[in-house]
Amino acid sequence: MRIVIAGGHGQIALRLETLLAARGDEVAGIIRKAEQADALREAGAEPILLDLESASVEDVAAQLQGADAAVFAAGAGPGSGTDRKDSVDKGAAVLFADAAVQAGVRRFLVVSSMGADPKHEGSEVFDVYLRAKGAADEYVRGLAGLDWTILRPGMLTNDAGTGLVRLEAHTGRGPIPRDDVAAALAELLDTPATAGLTLELISGSAPVSVAVKSVAGN
């Protein structure tokens, strides 16, 4: 498969690129800064320099031509203010989804956040973030041109992955290593029967492949 990842230099994205390249997929990652390119090459991915905050739908669709799947893993990051939550966590996600539709890329994965809700209340930056992610998720769900799956991990850690997870519509809160989020995304890409599902992910007792097959059967 050819897979294009938005937010290609993110911590989850780099792990996912490494996994996909190792198994023989052709992977490209969209990055905003040229100095990030070497990290993607080391992961086995082709860097695409494109700023999703200023690009047009046509610009992004051109990079998605011929792809089998697209993954939105971009984020404004913990140090960013409310404006960039709107322009990246919501705006770039909407742009990337529209571009996938235009390019005819049906399989579409979103790395969202547990608690994402367009009606989430509160005025703190994290509240704005959860509203932005929720609005983006809602927009993607409304696009008939996408076979989407939305993944909402719990509290992300840099612990070594265990390969054991809990993946359900509602898991309750809990931690999850970024390694295991990447492994779940790789498995979801291979499981089109998970299209149309919004899933929460935390550490658990089921091997990733078993957990994905289980939700695909529901």
| Catalytic residue (one of 112, 129, 148, 149) | 129
Measured CA to CA in angstroms, residue 124 lies from 45, 80, 128, 131, 190 at distances of: 36, 12, 7, 11, 37
Query: Is pLDDT of 78 > 90?
Result: no
The pTM assigned to this predicted structure is: 0.95
Grade residue 88 by pLDDT with cuts at 50, 70 and 90: confident
Give the model's pLDDT for residue 51. Answer: 95
Measured CA to CA in angstroms, residue 126 lies from 51, 114, 135, 153, 199 at distances of: 23, 12, 14, 15, 21
Give the model's pLDDT for residue 89. Answer: 85
Q: For residue 163, is it left (φ>0), alpha (ψ between -120 and 50) or beta?
A: left
Tell me the C-alpha distance between 136 and 15, whole Å: 23
Tell me the C-alpha distance between 67 and 144, whole Å: 18
Query: What is the DSSP pairing of strand 107-111 with strand 26-31?
Result: unpaired
The mean predicted confidence, pLDDT, of the chain is 95
Give the model's pLDDT for residue 207. Answer: 98
Give the model's pLDDT for residue 217. Answer: 75
In the predicted model, what is the mean pLDDT of residues 16-29? 98
Mark whether 139 is an active-site residue. no
Give the model's pLDDT for residue 29. Answer: 98
pLDDT digits (tens, 9 = 90+) for 134-145: 999 999 999 999
Backbone angles phi and psi of 137, in degrees to 5: -60, -45
pLDDT digits (tens, 9 = 90+) for 143-190: 999 999 999 999 999 999 999 999 999 999 999 999 999 999 999 999
**What is the CB neighbour count within 10 angstroms for residue 28?**
20
Give the model's pLDDT for residue 206. Answer: 98
Give the model's pLDDT for residue 125. Answer: 86
Query: Is pLDDT of 218 > 70?
Result: no
